[in-house]
A = this chain, B = another copy of it.
Amino acid sequence: MAAASIKEVARRAGVSLGTVSNVLNRPDMVAPATRQRVLDAIAELGYVRNDSARQLRAGQSRTIAIVVLDVANPFFTDMVRGAEQVVEETGAMLIVCNSGEDSARERRHLELLEEQRVRGVLITPVGDGPQPHLEKLIDRGIPVVLVDRGAGRASRCSVAVDDVLGGRLAMDHLLDQGHRRIAYVGGPFSLAQVAERHAGAAAALEERGAGAELRVAATTSLTVASGRRAAEDLLALPARQRPTAVFCANDLIALGVLQELTVRGLRVPADVAIVGYDDIEFAAAAAVPLSSVRQPREQLGRTAAQLLLEEAEAGATHQHRHVVFQPELVVRRSSDQPRRPRR
């Protein structure tokens, strides 16, 4: 059964093609009797509007895209749900793309989205450098909102959480607990989140961590598996160099570290304290409930979507805005054991 077009509906209802379109789009411009005849014809034929044709004519689609670093990371899925709420209220559609922290895939997605003439793009970009493909989108007039990333760019809106502050909160807490050998586990550092959380931690240490040291254990991605590998590396250190606390760039890594340490017989927090980042739902349910830096995940998504819709609406008169949320440290058992400094 080939899809019926507006033309056949028109023929069946005995009206012109334009009238059918009016029934669809401005129903009160057409006389009730006629309208009913058209609606009947639509029902009988099982007519479904062809969105490609509509878009072609309109020059724009009604979909908005969100490109995330990792669909399997609960932080992003919560963000997606926030964005979804807002987007769907407007009758538009949100399509979710996964870059998997891979720059080539990100580019490929953006190309496809551009071909689709999406109405706007929410994105947590992979790299932190210049972003030629994003610029291209913007040049084309497609609004882009940076999520969880890059406040301060003039050419686009952004929504972010103060990751430097988050890093500070975590580090201050660990220093308060008496830790002096601390590791930061995370990567790649090309992700600004990773770099800034580290920067915050380093700054806190610099300011008040007399005699404390921060070792970096870089990972290739922000996953549980990466966390486990990093923990292995830490365990390979001689015991007296081994950190007594670990601050992880996100909760997945923290969970990985926790798993590996536990399997290898170390106790958390007695032997090693752990602080994660994001406060995903699973952090509280972990083997040892995980301390974490909480971000307003859904709100991040909601706000981003609102900014985007606003920009798409306003067009040229739009003023780019940068919303920054404050993170908040949630202390749980994984770091809740003061340590008497003994060095």
Q: Closest CB-CB distance, A269 to chain B, in whole Å?
A: 14
Q: Which of A216-235 contact B (CB under 8 A)?
A: 224
In angstroms, how far is the closest chain B Cβ from the Cβ of A213? 28
Number of contacting residues on A, CB 8 A? Answer: 51
Residues of B within 8 A of A285 (CB): 224, 255, 258-259, 282, 286-287
**Chain B residues near A78 (CB, 8 Å)?**
72
> Do residues B81 and A77 form an inter-chain contact, with CB atoms below 8 A?
no
A282-B284 contact in complex given A48-B115, A71-B80, A115-B49, C-beta closer than 8 Å: no
Q: Across the interface, which residues of B come within 8 angstroms of A288, CB to CB?
A: 287
> How far does the alpha carbon of A199 sit from the alpha carbon of B84 in the complex, in Å?
35
Cβ < 8 Å to B, chain A residues 59-78: 61, 71-72, 74, 77-78
How far, in whole Å, are A80 and B80 apart by their CA atoms in the complex? 15
- A137-158 to B contact mask, C-beta < 8 Å, 1/0: 0011100000000000000000
**Chain B residues whose C-beta falls within 8 Å of the C-beta of A258 in the assembled complex:** 285
User: Contact at B139–A1, with CB atoms within 8 Å?
Assistant: yes
Q: Which of A52, A105, A114 has the most CB of B within 10 A?
A: A52
| Chain B residue with Cβ nearest A108 | B88
Instruction: Evaluate contact between B93 and A51: CB separation under 8 angstroms.
Output: no
Contact A140 B50 (CB under 8 A): no
Q: Are A71 and B96 in contact (CB under 8 A)?
A: yes
Q: Chain B's nearest CB lies how many Å from the CB of A190? A: 22
